[in-house]
Chains A and B, each alone.
Chain A
Amino acid sequence: MKILYFAKIKEVIGKSEDSITIKEQTTVKDVVEKLKLINESYKLAFQDTKNIKCSVNCNYINSFQTKVTNNDEIAFFPPVTGG
């Protein structure tokens, strides 16, 4: 699965994307837990997920319990500030 990071999250992690393989039908929360194991930067970036927005295939998700597969594109980012 393709994982994208934007804005402050991208800066903390130090890269803009990752590609990982997951078990079929896992949740976004499980993906986050897996990412946090990579290193301290990921752990720091995902320390407080309350302020992190997430999209799956460009659609906002309401819960980190949302199920995802290896074909999905997931993005993590702070609340938007455009306009």
Chain B
Amino acid sequence: MKIIFQTKKLNVEKVLNNFASKNNSSGSVISFLGKVRPSNKEKKIKTMDIEIYEKMALYQTKLALKKLLKEIKIQDYLIMHRYGNLKPGENIIFLIVASEHRKEGFIFIQEILLYFKKKITFWKKENYQDSSKWLDKQS
């Protein structure tokens, strides 16, 4: 059960294999990977800056988990989110959840993603060829 916010690239294959091995007795292991898109409304994205208020992001993620884990039963989770400067195609967020059955796992992934869109303190700025724009809508 881990929450990791980091600047270095996410090695999803290694992380997923380790997680699945560790949770050998779980009937379901579900993962979600969110990536930087190559363009936004036909504007080509050169890079994306992701800013974090780390102390609050961690605190709010723990609050969200506390609430969610009262409602659904899971066996293990891993939440990873990158910040810093990313290129199109790079991984932003990686979630993995192990549970006895798949239903709880899908709910967990969906709910955690909603929290990240609404409450967890990360901000994205898209850098184009000649300009930059902070995203102000969920995407």
Contacts and interface: CB of A to CB of B under 8 A. Distances in A.
Interface of A: 4, 6-8, 10, 51, 55, 58, 60, 75, 77-83
A48 B124 CA distance: 21
17 contacts: A4-B53, A6-B53, A7-B123, A8-B123, A55-B121, A58-B59, A60-B119, A78-B136, A80-B116, A80-B120, A80-B123, A81-B124, A81-B136, A81-B139, A82-B50, A83-B117, A83-B138
A78 B134 contact: yes
B122 A58 contact: no
Interface of B: 34, 50-51, 53, 55-57, 59-60, 81, 92-93, 113, 116-125, 134-139
A61 B119 CA distance: 12
B136 A77 contact: no
Contact of A58 (B51, B55, B138, B139): B55
Nearest to A60: B119
A4 to B, nearest CB: 7
Given A80-B116, A81-B138, A82-B117, 8 more contacts: A7-B51, A7-B123, A7-B125, A55-B53, A58-B59, A80-B122, A81-B137, A83-B113
Nearest to B116: A83
B56 A58 contact: yes
Contact of B134 (A4, A7, A58, A83): A7
Closest 5 interchain pairs by CB?
A82-B122, A83-B116, A7-B123, A58-B56, A58-B59
